[in-house]
Amino acid sequence: MNDVTSPNLKTQQIWVFGQIALSVPLQLLFVRWGYNHAGFVGPAGDSMGDRLAYALQWDLLGALVLLAMIGFLAGSRPIRHDTIDGNDRAEALAIHVRVQRNTVEQLMLMLFGHLTLASVLRVDQLHIIPVLALLFVVSRVAYWIGYVRAPHYRTLGFVATFYPNIAALLYSAWRIYL
């Protein structure tokens, strides 16, 4: 028996595939526009330290998103009887805990991807890193909002975070190992 308040599987699948189909071109447009027109410049120097510091400074934005999520959860716990004891399985915060956990996973992938990109790209190409860091922030917020609205709406934000991470890691691996 289907619950009348939730969409059926077919409808959810259509939403998921539609978000994937929308997310990929939006990511490509965002990255292309940001790379070509946003005016970001690379690090002042070309040493490995300069490159890695540049990536870490931009990736701080992703860590700030995670900090906001942790702050939200920390602030929400003391106001509810079912979460004040730290219960991370309480229904009221379950989605937010899943969003936070996935954000930790994606942030780790992003950090490795951006740090390795910083080590393999030419210095004049490093301004892709702030573009990717900003895409991460926008995508994580979209993921969080979508997930809270309805779990099958999280796909756009997830794909816009995960696919660039895959691309950064695979490109870096290709440049390093092949």
- Reported as a pLDDT band with limits 50, 70 and 90, residue 1 is very low
Between CA 123 and CA 129 the distance in angstroms is 11
Residue pair 22/29 in contact (Cβ under 8 Å)? The answer is no
What's the CA gap between 164 and 142, in Å, rounded?
15
* Residue 6 falls inside a structural domain: no
Q: Domain for residue 90, yes or no?
A: yes
pLDDT value, residue 5: 56
Q: How many residues does the chain have?
A: 178
pTM above 0.85, yes or no: yes
DSSP summary character for residue 79? G
pLDDT value of residue 82 = 85
Query: Would you tell me how many other CB atoms lie within 10 Å of the CB of residue 32?
Result: 11
Q: What tens digit of pLDDT does each residue of 108-157 get? A: 999 999 999 999 999 999 999 999 999 999 999 999 999 999 999 999 99
d(CA 132, CA 38): 12
Number of domains in the chain: 1
- Structural domain boundaries enclosing 123: 11-177
| Contact (Cβ atoms closer than 8 angstroms) between residue 46 and residue 118 | no
* Phi and psi based region of residue 86 (left: phi greater than 0; alpha: psi -120 to 50; beta: remaining): left
2 occurs within a structural domain? no
CATH at residue 28? 1.20.120.550
Q: Which pLDDT belongs to residue 97?
A: 93
Chain segment 4-27, per-residue pLDDT in tens: 556 799 999 999 999 999 999 999
**For residue 2, pLDDT beyond 60:** no
Domain for residue 21, yes or no? yes
Question: Cβ distance 15 to 155 under 8 Å?
Answer: yes
Tell me, yes or no, whether 5 lies in a domain: no
Q: Is residue 96 part of a domain?
A: yes
Q: With cut-offs at 50, 70 and 90, classify the pLDDT of residue 106.
A: very high
* Distance (Å, whole) CA 75 – CA 84: 10
- Tokens 């990536």 correspond to 55
How far apart, in whole angstroms, are the C-alpha atoms of residue 90 and residue 51? 43
Share of the chain above pLDDT 90, in %: 86
Poorest-pLDDT segment among 22-36, 53-67, 71-85: 71-85
- Please check whether residue 4 lies inside any domain of the structure: no
